[in-house]
Chains A and B, each alone.
Chain A
Amino acid sequence: MLFQNKVYHRRNLLIFYLLCFGAFLGLFVRLAYIMVCEGDYYSERATDLHERERSIKADRGLILDRNGKVLAGNKSVCTVSVVHSQISDPEEVIRVLCEHLDLSEEYVRKRVEKYSSMERIKSNVDIETGDRIRELKLDGVKVDEDYKRYYPYGSLASKVLGFTGSDNQGILGLEVKYDSYLKGEPGKILTVTDAKGLEVDGISERRIEPVSGSVLYTGLDINIQAYATQIAYQVMESKQADSVSIIVMNPQNGEIMAMVDVPEYDLNNPYALPEEPGSEELTAEQKQECLNRVWRNSCINDTYEPGSVFKIITAAAGLETGVVTCDSRFYCPGYIVVDDRKIRCHKTQGHGSEDFVLGTMNSCNPVFINVGLSLGIDRYYEYFEKFGLLKKTGVDLPGEAGTIMHKKDNMGNVELATVAFGQSFQITPMQMLTTAASLVNGGKRVTPHIGVKTVDQNSQETVLSDGEGERILSEETSETLRGILEQVVSEGTGKNGKVEGYLVGGKTATSQTLPRGSGRYIASFLGFAPADNPQVMAIAIVNNPKGVYYGGQVAAPVVRQLFENILPYMGIQEYNQ
């Protein structure tokens, strides 16, 4: 009996054992599948779960001028923090931090005594103070180095450079336009933590090194910029103007050497409001509005009626089509009737009989109205578009304003007449300068630009300027135009722009700001030198000058002063040498 039962036992025990064996085998296969096939997936997920990231800021790329001077750099600063659990002598820590960081005891005590893994006491501490605190070797006090954007020239070229925010991200100007090049790639310190987020000791940190941002080489010249800024402030003060803008450009390739829009603001303290009565009581929204006004770059963000400077465009179109030549004769009685409207010349008694060159020198409105009307709406509009005036210039700064122009279908002869001498539409100063440069440089449209190239940390270069632009005017017409504009300066309305020893071409403008009759004017002058082979072109716009407001009187001397200094500096030879 006993023996018989034992047989069942043995057989069934073996079956049960084999079942268990099979189960273990199956589980082993399952285990191997999880650990080998799915292992990468699970361990990656686990690592994500365990690691806490601390990012390492990447050095932001420098912005350099054409001579290699640093326009925007980085300054080392420190962040001082305390680690509660590591502090051994809290009173000493509080005393030292109060003393060195110039903080109230109450403020520091609250943070030192707070139970947290890490508490920031103060950031943007200068490096000397940070070093002094570090040398004291206090337990639980951490001094971390950090970078802060620093602009060595303060407010110089502020409207062009822009500034960065607290995370070193570009906010305005070149800083935001070239942010992708400048910002680099932040690195990471990965620390292993437990489920509550506490760091685990004894497990080495993983470091992913940051990639520094690329260096931005610009065509700006800090000396020209500084000088242009100086004279802009001078004229703003002497004429009690609202603002003065000056752009200096190489008309051959569109490289901008200086862009001034005074008043400028301090790049190292961009959020400071201008000192005006009542500025303390502003709401946050009003403050922001005020700052936006301060930061605004009217060279590109705002449009204006270009006035007589725009006659360059009408002249170019007229000469190119042949509706007018240098010798064409005109008669100016002081006004002209277009359809049923009588449009006055600025010289109410009239310029009398004059040829086209003299008409340009006189900046005679009826002459240009006649040229415009001879072209007709279709052709005029065609040239307006061909010269690139309907599009943006493509300057490498954010927020460029577009042209405000009549729709072609809505244009009648009266509108055409006013456009022909630069009224009833609006363009940016940048657009005016760029189009004029493209017409006198031999007839090729240039794209204005400040950035020239970027160089990354591996010395890899990226050239930013585009190639040669399309032809918009023939060489011959361009040459004729240069000749006429040279005479405007040498003997015409622009004679205040004359520079001893140089051939300067240019055109003045005095435009009334809208609404008309407000008594607000914009005096402007566009000049270039040498007139026969333009190497530099500048536009000066004086917004709302008091007293004399004519462009020839107010703006032309600004460009003259500028040219007197920068032409020799740029190594442009006097014609008689």
Chain B
Amino acid sequence: MATQKGKNRRREKNEYFFDYSLLFLLLFLLVFGMVMIYSASSYEAFQAYGDAAFYFKKQLVAVAVGLVGMVIASRIPQIWLRYVAYISYLVSALLILLVLTPLGVESHGARRWIGIPGTSFNLQPAEVAKISVILVCALLLSNIKGDVKKWKYWFGMMAVPLPLAAEIFFVTRNLSSAIIVVAIGWVMVFISSPTFLRYAVMVISAGAVAAVVIRMAVSSGGDGNFRFGRIVAWLNPEADSQGTGFQTVQGLYAIGSGGVWGKGLGESIQKLDFVPEAQNDMIFSIICEELGLFGGGAVMILFIMLLWRMMRIASNARDNFSALVVSGVMAHIAVQAVLNIAVVTNTIPNTGVSLPFISYGGSSVVFLLAEMGLVFGVAGKIVKREMN
């Protein structure tokens, strides 16, 4: 008996932390996402490909690959990550340029993908860019530590994600991914900064710039520039419900017809070709239509809990680098989830952001899972009794 007790105590002492709740939340989101992808896409998939599970199957393969990637990523020694950080930055910069070569794949009127030779899968280099920005920023910030408050370092750090973001914006014409890349980097700089004021100034000036842009867009009437057009459509989506406002209005119809409890899983009408990209960027509107405010709220709560777990891991990480990697992943997921739901509810102008773990999209889910693998890797190094 006594030895048994002693064994237990010893095990507790040396036991490493494994975040089961984070794993559970992640798996729940993934399974839920698969169910919703099937629900949202089966009608259109059957019509387009004669196979209701067409998108579901492709996503299933991506999730499987991603889970394997996650396990691998969780076991990569930190030292390797440090070495790989700069390389990944350069690789993603090159991958984005590859889009311009014959390997580039055009879809939905944009050239954002690289075909993976020999498979029917495409890679979105912007997703690689996100993970590389996380690694590079984590590495640099953990090296300069508190010096980040010095203006020289601060400006240097703030500039780190910009080349990739510029590439994404100018090469693949993907504003939202560029914004996300920048946001990830800047959030990481903020998290490692002892200073505060400059961020407040940034937020205020960003608000002022946004107000000016909106005024310009409104006075231009939305003509000429398609981004201005989207701002005008955002303010009054129903004015041009067949044109620029179409996706937004269809999404709002879906959300609005959900009510508190929704129509029931699989009962969405708006997914019958009304909402464009129902399984993709607009999947949250289908969730709301089928599962109601309850379902939409539940998804938000899942994300809030997921972020909470990641914050706990980052706070307890054994070293700065690990903490910043987890912070970066957290920033990535948080920014994307908030932007996606904000777009779908027409809280901000329409821009293509997918909902992490739920939206259809292979590259997105594979790299998100790889990032989650890094998080689990960090979590695994935390000794349980050191947790606070």
- Which A residues form the contact surface with B (CB < 8 A)? 1-2, 4-6, 8-10, 12-14, 16-17, 20-21, 23-24, 26-28, 30-32, 34-36, 38-43, 45-47, 49-50, 192-196, 200, 203
Encode contact with A along B279-313: 1 for CB under 8 Å, 0 otherwise.
00000000010001100110010011001100100
Whether A49 pairs with B307 at a CB distance below 8 angstroms is: no
What is the size category of the interface that chain B forms with chain A? 35 or more
Q: In whole angstroms, what is the CA distance A38 to B43 when docked?
A: 27
Whether A46 pairs with B323 at a CB distance below 8 angstroms is: no
Name the residue in B190, B257, B274, B327 with the highest tally of chain A Cβ atoms < 10 Å from its Cβ: B257
B196 to chain A, nearest CB (A): 9
Whether A39 pairs with B257 at a CB distance below 8 angstroms is: yes
> B269 at the A/B interface (Cβ < 8 Å)?
yes
User: In the complex where A8-B193, A9-B192, A31-B293 touch, is A43 in contact with B273 (Cβ < 8 A)?
Assistant: no
Chain B's closest residue to A37 (CB) is B256
Whether A17 pairs with B307 at a CB distance below 8 angstroms is: yes
Whether A31 pairs with B274 at a CB distance below 8 angstroms is: no
Q: In whole angstroms, what is the CA distance A29 to B255 when docked?
A: 13
> B370 at the A/B interface (Cβ < 8 Å)?
no
Whether A2 pairs with B297 at a CB distance below 8 angstroms is: no
Q: In whole angstroms, what is the CA distance A47 to B263 when docked?
A: 13
Q: In whole angstroms, what is the CA distance A32 to B347 when docked?
A: 13
10 A-B pairs with CB atoms under 8 Å apart are A2-B319, A16-B330, A17-B330, A24-B303, A27-B341, A31-B255, A41-B256, A42-B257, A46-B269, A46-B270
> B212 at the A/B interface (Cβ < 8 Å)?
no
Q: In whole angstroms, what is the CA distance A1 to B43 when docked?
A: 57
Q: In whole angstroms, what is the CA distance A21 to B274 when docked?
A: 32
The 8 Å CB contact of A49, one of B187, B253, B304, is B253
- Which B residues form the contact surface with A (CB < 8 A)? 43, 145-146, 187, 190-194, 252-260, 269-270, 272-274, 288, 292-293, 296-297, 300, 303-304, 307-308, 311, 314-315, 319-320, 323-324, 327, 330-331, 334, 337-338, 341-342, 345, 347
The 8 Å CB contact of A35, one of B274, B288, B304, is B288
User: In the complex where A5-B192, A6-B323 touch, is A34 in contact with B315 (Cβ < 8 A)?
Assistant: no
Chain A residues positioned under 8 Å from B194 (CB to CB): 8
Main secondary structure of the interface of A (DSSP, over half): helix
Chain B's closest residue to A203 (CB) is B269
Chain B's closest residue to A19 (CB) is B334
User: In the complex where A6-B323, A17-B308 touch, is A12 in contact with B193 (Cβ < 8 A)?
Assistant: yes
Chain A residues positioned under 8 Å from B146 (CB to CB): 1, 4-5, 8
B275 to chain A, nearest CB (A): 9
Whether A35 pairs with B256 at a CB distance below 8 angstroms is: yes
Whether A42 pairs with B297 at a CB distance below 8 angstroms is: no
Whether B273 pairs with A196 at a CB distance below 8 angstroms is: yes
Chain B's closest residue to A35 (CB) is B293
Chain A's closest residue to B293 (CB) is A35
Q: In whole angstroms, what is the CA distance A194 to B47 when docked?
A: 11
A3 to chain B, nearest CB (A): 10
Whether A24 pairs with B256 at a CB distance below 8 angstroms is: no
Whether B257 pairs with A43 at a CB distance below 8 angstroms is: yes
Q: In whole angstroms, what is the CA distance A8 to B292 when docked?
A: 39
User: In the complex where A2-B320, A200-B269 touch, is A28 in contact with B297 (Cβ < 8 A)?
Assistant: yes
Name the residue in B43, B253, B320, B323 with the highest tally of chain A Cβ atoms < 10 Å from its Cβ: B253
Q: In whole angstroms, what is the CA distance A5 to B296 when docked?
A: 37
- A-B pairs with lowest CB-CB distance, top 9: A42-B256, A195-B273, A194-B272, A43-B257, A46-B253, A12-B191, A20-B334, A46-B257, A23-B338
Whether A30 pairs with B347 at a CB distance below 8 angstroms is: yes
Task: Give me 11 other A-B pairs in contact (C-beta within 8 A), A4-B146, A8-B191 excluded.
Answer: A1-B145, A6-B315, A9-B191, A12-B190, A13-B311, A13-B315, A24-B303, A31-B341, A32-B293, A35-B255, A35-B296
